[in-house]
């Protein structure tokens, strides 16, 4: 039997909660948290915060780092304290680096034990022993076009796994900050929940992180395709540093503060854009192949992640993909004071994972 809703999660997964819930997104360069409350049936933003991880190991803001357990605990305590998070219930988004997600096709009669067949297939595709991971799976519907070319009794299945070592590590981390047995899911499912709207069955999301960029294609809130490539904010900052002849810290500050009116914007943008040219071309190819196979048209792509905040990156992606690109606005799913509107739209792309994780508890 599938463990559906444990680490694989659709937009319908989760349990009702009327208390405060904190969504936690631990990336390679920062930790982000968002606390939500339900007030009279309305999900409301209570607080949010982000803390850079570089300084905890003597590195600059924006750098990708690997923290020891103690350092990670201190960083999480700091961001929770500084953000004034009060919730004792949490949902943790597991980074893709500790996970494995893929789609497979399995030949199975309608009355076959699909769970047993999934485990057999999982042994072939997961780069670790099944005893070392927590496995989850969900059957994915086949589109009309796919059904015309699909063999009889062919089933499409989404398989996901998380390293047990990573699960234990984050379990201890959550207990350290007083969150008991928080549900855990892989960050891609949190992102999709944070951006999915039932008015739009099929969406694509480009999530630009510190060291990698990911493409997610989702149908009715369930992941259909995922593609990841090494291209992210750290690499972009390194290229900017080379172009300007400066150090990483100065280049990171420039990248984060620059606007289109700056005298050196063209030079900085040229170096920045080079970091993503290959990734965006490959994303375009994956989307086209998906459309050709399924007969589904992806009209809009949502841009999320910290890297989405750089001015003009949406235009670059739109030019390569030749389709509409919109900055992710996950805060549109929750209530907040009107005076925060501009801020929420500005920071929205970088908080899609944390907000999507917190929303799991309310659906």
The answer as to whether 16 is a domain residue is no
CB burial of residue 319 (10 Å; 0-12, 13-18, 19+): exposed
Give the Cβ contact number of residue 152 at 10 Å.
6
Considering the domain architecture, whether residues 204 and 267 belong to the same structural domain is answered as no
- The one-character DSSP state at 143 is P
Judge if 121 and 101 occupy the same domain: yes
As given in the structure block, the two tokens for residue 117 are: 């067949």
> Can you tell me the distance from the alpha carbon of 32 to that of 283, in angstroms, rounded to the nearest whole number?
26
What span, in angstroms and rounded, lies between the C-alpha atoms of 345 and 4? 32
Q: How many domains does the chain have?
A: 2
Q: Are residues 141 and 263 in the same domain?
A: no
For residues 201 and 250, state if they share a domain: no
Domain that holds residue 130: 21-232+276-362
| Cα 54-208-353 angle, rounded to 5 deg | 80
329 and 191 within one domain = yes
Residues 354 and 259 in one domain: no
Residues constituting the chain = 363
Do 83 and 157 belong together in one domain? Answer: yes
- 142, 166: one domain: yes
Q: How far apart are the first and last CA of the chain?
A: 22
101 and 242 belong to one structural domain: no
C-alpha 268: how far from chain center: 26
Digit-by-digit pLDDT tens for the chain (363 residues) are 233 345 554 433 333 344 799 999 999 999 999 999 998 889 999 999 999 999 999 999 999 999 999 999 999 999 999 999 999 999 999 898 888 888 888 888 878 888 899 999 999 999 889 999 998 888 887 777 766 666 677 888 889 999 999 889 888 898 888 887 778 889 999 999 999 887 788 999 999 999 999 999 998 888 999 999 999 999 999 999 999 999 999 999 999 999 999 999 999 999 999 999 999 999 999 999 999 988 999 988 999 999 999 999 999 999 999 999 999 999 999 999 999 999 999 999 999 999 999 999 987
How many beta carbons lie within 10 A of that of residue 60, not counting itself?
18
In a domain, 126, yes or no: yes
Token look-up 């040229």 returns 270
């Amino acid at each position: 039997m599938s463990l559906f809703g444990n680490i694989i999660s659709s937009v319908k997964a989760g349990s009702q909660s009327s208390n405060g819930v904190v969504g936690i997104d631990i990336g390679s360069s920062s930790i982000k948290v968002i606390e939500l409350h339900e007030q009279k049936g309305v999900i409301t933003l209570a607080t949010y915060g982000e803390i850079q991880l570089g300084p905890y190991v003597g590195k600059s803001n924006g750098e990708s780092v690997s923290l020891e357990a103690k350092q990670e605990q201190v960083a999480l305590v700091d961001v929770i304290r500084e953000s004034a998070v009060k919730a004792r219930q949490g949902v943790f988004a597991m980074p893709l680096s500790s996970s494995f997600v893929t789609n497979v096709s399995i030949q199975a009669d309608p009355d076959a034990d699909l769970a047993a067949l999934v485990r057999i297939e999982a042994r072939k595709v997961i780069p670790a022993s099944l005893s070392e991971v927590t496995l989850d799976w969900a059957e994915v519907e086949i589109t009309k076009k796919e059904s015309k070319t699909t063999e009889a009794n062919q089933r499409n299945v989404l398989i996901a796994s998380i390293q047990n070592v990573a699960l234990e590590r984050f379990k201890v981390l959550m207990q350290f900050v007083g969150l008991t047995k928080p549900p855990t899911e892989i960050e891609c499912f949190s992102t999709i929940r944070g951006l999915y709207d039932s008015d739009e069955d099929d969406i694509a999301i480009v999530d630009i992180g510190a060291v990698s960029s990911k493409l997610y294609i989702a149908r009715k809130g369930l992941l259909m395709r995922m593609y990841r490539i090494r291209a992210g904010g750290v690499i972009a900052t390194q290229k900017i540093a080379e172009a300007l002849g400066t150090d990483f810290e100065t280049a990171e500050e420039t990248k984060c503060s620059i606007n289109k009116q700056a005298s050196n914007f063209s030079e900085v943008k040229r170096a920045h854009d080079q970091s993503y040219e290959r990734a965006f071309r490959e994303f375009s190819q994956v989307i086209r192949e998906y459309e050709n196979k399924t007969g589904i048209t992806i009209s809009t792509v949502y841009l999320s992640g910290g890297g989405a905040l750089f001015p003009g990156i949406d235009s670059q992606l739109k030019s390569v993909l030749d389709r509409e690109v919109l900055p992710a606005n996950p805060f549109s799913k929750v209530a907040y004071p009107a005076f925060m509107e501009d801020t929420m739209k500005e920071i929205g792309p970088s908080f899609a994972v944390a907000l999507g994780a917190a929303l799991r508890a309310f659906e």
